[in-house]
Amino acid sequence: MSTTSSDPLATLGTLPGVTDAVDSVRKAVDRVYGHRVMRRRSVEVTSEAALRGARGSAALSGADWNLEEVRRRTDFTGDSEARVVGAALRLTAEAGQLLSIWRQSPLRVLARLHLVAAGGAAPEDAVGRPRLAGEPVDEPLIEAPLPDADEVAGRLEGLSGLILSGSGAPALVTAAVVHGELLALRPFGGYNGLVARTAERIVLIGSGLDPKSICPAEVGHAEQGRAAYVAALEGYLSGTPEGMAAWIAHCGRAVELGVRESTAVCEALQRGAA
C-alpha cells in the first residue's frame, strides 16, 4: 500500500465504495446475530459455519467436495484433494484458539497455521517458516509474479507491524488486507490460500465483528467463484485505490454470503430440519 497516512488501513476505509461495503457487512452480521436461534443454539451454528467455511476454502484450493462428503469423511490422508480438505478443516478448528497470540505476534500465528495445514505432508524443515530463496511454491490458483524471499520477509514484518500498532480501520478492511497480502506474498511452500483465508477469519473474529465465528467468508469467496476471486485479487495487487476498493468490496460480499449461509442454517434449526 502506498500512502503517507499514519494509519494506512484507516485510509483504505475511506475509499469510494468501501464505506458502503463496511456498512452493508455490519448490517448483515447484526441481522444474523439477532436471529432468535442464536439465543439458544449458537454453538450449533458456529460448528456448522466452521464446516461450511472449511469446505468453501478447500474448494478455492482445488478440492471442491460436496458438503455431505466433507461431513461424512473421517480419513483425509489419501490423495491431494483429501489432504487439502483435511488441512482446511484443521485450520478452521484452530482459528479460534489463536486469537490472543494473533494480537501479540501475527507471524507466530501464521507459522502455526502453516504447520497445522501441512499436517506432516511437507518436509519438516520447510514447515512453519517463510520460504527461502529458490524454494518452490505450490499455489496453482494464483499465477501472479512471485515476490522473492527478501521481499516476503520485509512485507511480512510490515504487515505484522500494521496489526500490532492498532488501527481505526473497520474489521472488514483489516481482514481483506491481511488476506490479500498473504495471497500476494505466498510466503510458504504450499497451503498459502488456506492460510490466508484462515487469517481473514481470525481478524473477523478477533475484531468483534463476528465473535462467534458464524459468518464464514470462505463460503462467500467460493460462491463467487475462483475466477472472480482471482480477478478481485488482481485489483489488490495493482495497489491502486480502485483496485484495493474492489478487493475489499469483494471480501465484504463474501462475508455477506457467509451470513446468508448461516441464516439458512438458523432457519433450518428453527424448523427442526438440521
Q: How high is the pLDDT of residue 53? A: 98
Q: How high is the pLDDT of residue 15? A: 95
Q: How high is the pLDDT of residue 2? A: 45
Cα dihedral 80/83/84/86 (nearest 10): 160
In angstroms, the CA 212 to CA 235 distance is 30
Q: How high is the pLDDT of residue 5? A: 60
Residues 165-188 pLDDT 10s: 988 999 999 999 999 999 999 999
Q: How high is the pLDDT of residue 273? A: 53
Q: How high is the pLDDT of residue 121? A: 64
Q: How high is the pLDDT of residue 203? A: 97
Residues of the chain short of pLDDT 70, as ranges, are: 1-5, 120-124, 273-274
**Paired residues of 138 in beta bridges:** 190
Q: How high is the pLDDT of residue 170? A: 96
Q: Provide the CA 105 distance to its chain's centre, in angstroms.
A: 18
Residues 1-29 pLDDT 10s: 444 467 899 999 999 999 999 999 999 99
In this prediction, what percent of the chain has a pLDDT beyond 70?
96
Q: How far is CA 40 from CA 35, 44, 261, 266, in A?
A: 10, 9, 18, 11
In angstroms, the CA 52 to CA 56 distance is 6
**Residue 273: CB partners within 8 Å, gap ≥ 6?**
none
